Amino acid sequence: MNPVSTPVRVLIVDDQEILRRGLRMLLELEPDIEVVGEAEDGRRALAAMPESSPDVVLVDARMPVLDGIGFTERCARDHPEARVLALTTFDDTELVRAMLDAGAAGFLLKDVSTSGLREAILQVMRGGTVVDPRVVRTVIDRPAGDGLTPTERAVAGLVAEGCSNRVIAERLHLAHGTVKNTVSALLRKFGVRDRTALALHLAREQRPGEKRGG
């Protein structure tokens, strides 16, 4: 991904100081990213927003005082110009759904690579949405009552991992044309434009209280 013309202003919000400092050190090496501040919880982050004016806020989903969900809801209401990118060590499907419903533009696990984090920041800055494929796969592997056939669900899972149609065809032993038609059918069924939107839609459609089938 090419650098942006003006550095993306990033606010880091995490209750663990060592993680905040580590993220700052990594991101300050990127010429197209400027770290404009840190906060240890959602309440302090909201207080820092007017002065720091971040384009993207990296938020730990689980924090004391005001957690990532609460912060994201308040940020979407009071600072809609800022994009929230959630970070967590948990691949909890309920947490993913709650953060996205609150208005987060993306959800990543904290072991994301530096290059992956940079690309995610730039993508959400440009209006895109990013969800770690491992998180989405965990969500969509659960029965959703959405009427998907086994083939559609298998294809959707690999789409969430970022696989091309050719790779999906090889893994599932399907014809390339079958995969292409299945992806097109999934996009039409859920009324979305692209693969990322498809994965997010499936994540949001999961209903609370459902159990994994045996």
Backbone angles phi, psi at 56, to 5 degrees: -135, 135
Mean pLDDT in order along the chain per 10 residues (214 residues): 74 94 94 96 95 96 91 94 90 76 87 90 86 65 59 78 81 83 87 77 53 38
Angle 36-38-43 from CA coordinates, rounded to 5°: 120
pLDDT score for 101? 81
The one-letter amino acid code at 12 reads: I
Contact 196, 131 (CB under 8 A): yes
The one-letter amino acid code at 52 reads: S
pLDDT score for 8? 96
pLDDT score for 157? 76
Contact 9, 32 (CB under 8 A): no
Contact 156, 198 (CB under 8 A): yes
Backbone angles phi, psi at 163, to 5 degrees: -75, 145
Q: Considering only CA atoms, which of 64, 65, 122, 110 is closest in space to residue 86?
A: 110
pLDDT score for 140? 53
Within 8 A by CB and 6+ apart from 196, the residues are 128, 129, 130, 131
pLDDT score for 29? 93
Beta carbons within 10 angstroms of residue 185's beta carbon: 15
